[in-house]
Structure 1
Amino acid sequence: MPKPGETIHSKEMFTSGGGKGANQAIAAARNGGNVNFIGAVGNDNSGKALVELLGQDKIETKGIKQLESTRTGSAYVNVNDEGENSIIIYGGANQLITDEHIIEMNNLIEESDYVIAQFETNLSSIEKTFEIAKEMGVTTILNPAPAKRVIPKNIIQLTDILIPNETELETIVGSKITNEAELIKSVHAIHEMGIKIVIVTLGSKGVFYSIYNGDSGFVPALKVKAIDTTAAGDTFIGTFAAKLRSDLSNINDAIAYGNRAASLTVQRYGAQTSIPYKSEINME
């Protein structure tokens, strides 16, 4: 990122469909998931394009509300020479989803095995979505991104599976993670908040998972040359959910599948353009 008063050149620039929720939905759909999408866009060309992109992957879009009063959310992604990114987000329509809209879409929640939410939408809509999901016996997955120092207690109590990256975990627990012991301590702190399953994505180091009073361990990442890490975490979450059985009995296999999918994503540029299809992922 340029410093104040500094102007720097970019080697290239392009526009791609994105958004954490949309990326995760597309990753799930491309890997066997039957996906419903609940959200909001503005009455603009970007909103129309995003809905069309979701439809191309056979994602049900009737849960997307078009708002006249604002623009579609956008993200501005800077990628350095090592393939690592930094992102600035304009929330737009995402931040204006109402509880009433969520209630109107409760049938989409009821027919799902999992509901995945991110912090690109407002907290009230997440809480209402998770309330409905829990009433209907649907497993809730929270991706706490962009990171927040304080997650409302009600949302924590309604979350079954938390999937942060390392930076997001540090933000939630309020301490730096520099080694394995600190990572495990931080995950245990999340368990103490009441969340049963924690899965931490660690980039090139893979994934650490922990089930309260159950299994825990590292699943290593594949060794690849990353050129753009945009949507890698989203790819992991979407493909993990697509492969996870409703009784959670194959969590290790689902994590391994998500890892392999993400390893393909980081070898390509863009967000949704980089997300692999099931036919590309070889688990042998």
Structure 2
Amino acid sequence: MTNKVVVLGSLNVDMTLHITQMPKPGETIPAISKTNSAGGKGANQAVAAARSHAQTSFIGQVGNDNAGKFMVNALKADQIDTDHISVDEQEGTGSAVILLDEAGQNSIMVYGGANQSMRPAIISDSEALIAGADILISQFETPQGVTYEAFKVAKAHGVTTILNPAPATQIMDDLLEVTDLIVPNETESATLTGIEVTDLVSMNQNADKFTALGIENLIITVGDRGAYFHTPAQSGFVPAFKVKAKDTTAAGDTFIGAFSAQIKKDFSNIEAALTYAQQASSITVQRLGALPSIPTTEEIQARYNK
């Protein structure tokens, strides 16, 4: 069965500056090269879901500019429904500048633009789309108030909600109440719970804190180590696949999008879905760029199901 996935999120044009090492404060360094590609956490997650054969739709906003047209066309190229992407006449399309060093590590600066000018009322036009979905995903590169309105609609129609709290910031209490699964990385989880993620004991403590906040289903991604998961039925750790990273941009987004295409609504196959998501992100980090680096199901199966 193919999941119907709706992504509410950001659309950014990424400019990546390739450098030997990160600059120190006040230091000027040369860039080896520059590349531009489609990105944004929302777009990355949607493309990852679509390339893993989920029937994918997008809710978002761009500016009335060439960058906006570029982003919409990038999603259409992966057969993603873009009918619910609106145009802001005042704000420009979101963008990001990525510093990428030779070790594959990155630092990212994001201009929200039209992503941040979205208003909760926009969700009223997408109620039927959300109601017909299996999974609704959102992140924090668009306003939390918009996500809350969308998640309320989702819960009214029995749709599973997945929240990726990135970039890390405090979460509206109301939003927690309508979130089925939260997927932070270790830094974001510590920001939200106040408990540093260092080992399995601290991961379990994070899970207990999220349960107290009303979210019983948790995944904490911990980079090249793997991913911790906790549901009322089970918990555990799925190790990452060891590869040499060229660019970690979009690795976490690939993970979430690929996972959303595989997961059952009752989370009963969470370990298998996480393994698949790890396989997908392990391929992403071996390539440059955001959208261009995200693999298809066929690529994942060819690499890991020999």
Q: TM-score, normalising length from structure 2?
A: 0.90
Number of the residue aligned with 2:260: 241
Query: Which residue is equivalent to 2:55?
Result: 34
**Runs (5+) with no aligned partner, structure 2:** 1-21
- Range that drifts further, 246-255 or 43-52: 246-255
Counterpart position of 1:71: 92
Q: CA deviation at 1:4?
A: 3.8
Report matched runs for 1:1-284 at 5 Å.
1-148=22-169, 150-212=170-232, 214-282=233-301, 283-284=304-305
Deviation at residue 103 of structure 1 after TM alignment: 0.9
Q: What code does the residue aligned with 1:174 have? A: G
**Richer in strand (by share):** 2
Percent sequence identity is 48
Letter in 2 for 1:235: T
Greater CA drift, 173-182 or 202-211: 173-182
CA–CA separation in structure 1 for the residues paired with 2:286 and 2:299: 13
Residue deviations 1:61-95 (CA, integer Å, cap 9, x gap)? 01000110101111111122221211111111111
Unpaired runs of 5+ residues, structure 1, are: none
Partners of 2:220 and 2:253 in 1: CA distance: 13
Per-residue CA deviation, residues 176-220 of structure 1 (Å, 9 max, x unaligned), is 3233322221222112111011011111101100113x2110101
Matched residue type, 2:262: K
SS of residue in 2 equivalent to 1:15:
strand
Relative to the length of structure 1, the TM-score reads 0.96
Code of the residue aligned with 1:190 in structure 2: it is F
Task: Quote the Cα distance in structure 2 between the aligned partners of 1:174 and 1:251.
Answer: 26
State the distance in 1 between where 2:240 and 2:99 align.
Answer: 23
For residues 234 and 65 of structure 2, what CA distance do their matches in structure 1 show?
Answer: 47
Instruction: Tell me the amino acid that sits aligned with residue 231 of structure 2.
Output: I
Q: Deviations over 1:97-153 (max 9, x none)?
A: 1222111111110110010000000011011000110011100000000000x2111
SS of the residue aligned with 1:176?
A: coil
How many matched pairs?
Answer: 282
